[in-house]
Amino acid sequence: MGGPHRGVPAAAAAFLNWFGGPAGVIVPLGLLAFLLVRGRWWSACCLLAAYLGANLLVVQTLKHLVDRPRPENPLVRVDHGSFPSGHGAAAAALVVLAGALLVPAARRRAWWCAGTLFTLAMMWSRTWLHAHWLSDTVAGALAGAAAALLVWRAFMPVLAREGRGSVRSEGVPRRVPPQAAGG
């Protein structure tokens, strides 16, 4: 993605770079504090386990195993290894976790659309800034979403007791098995 790197695209990419960097832990920490204040201990544990698991276990392990070089002349400061994108993983994990733990069922369709756009924007910014190859950002987003979904699934029994274990939520009718319905 050569050419000039200024204007609105540069500002958007700089914001997303900041959001996915060290300062970007503000949002997950804010969500963690919100869950703790609301007494949703298992949701907070799920958020923490998935967010740390996606970044530390999955992304950093893959970065060290693959050790793929980054594109030349990145426009931002980067660490070792291009594959997978930690920014992409963090964005996707955050979208999945917030959707699963916080967003009411009636608003989830809009959340998934907005979250997908946010994750795609993060992927674009990392590629546009020459920090990653496109395949790195795709792999990062998939790794982050997968880690979040796996941890959420593992926590589902305790989250159900807390009231947030299932994708279905209050007010959404569940299918009644035929034998329970008298048939």
Q: Give the mean pLDDT of 154-160.
A: 85
Sorted by where each begins, the domain ranges of the chain are: 8-71+80-162
Per-residue confidence (pLDDT) for residue 2, from 0 to 100: 53
CA distances from 18 to 23, 26, 39, 73, 84 (A): 6, 11, 30, 19, 18
pLDDT in tens, 4-35: 566 888 888 888 888 877 777 788 888 888 88
Per-residue confidence (pLDDT) for residue 119, from 0 to 100: 94
Is this prediction's pTM over 0.85? no
pLDDT in tens, 80-90: 777 888 889 98
pLDDT, averaged across the chain: 81
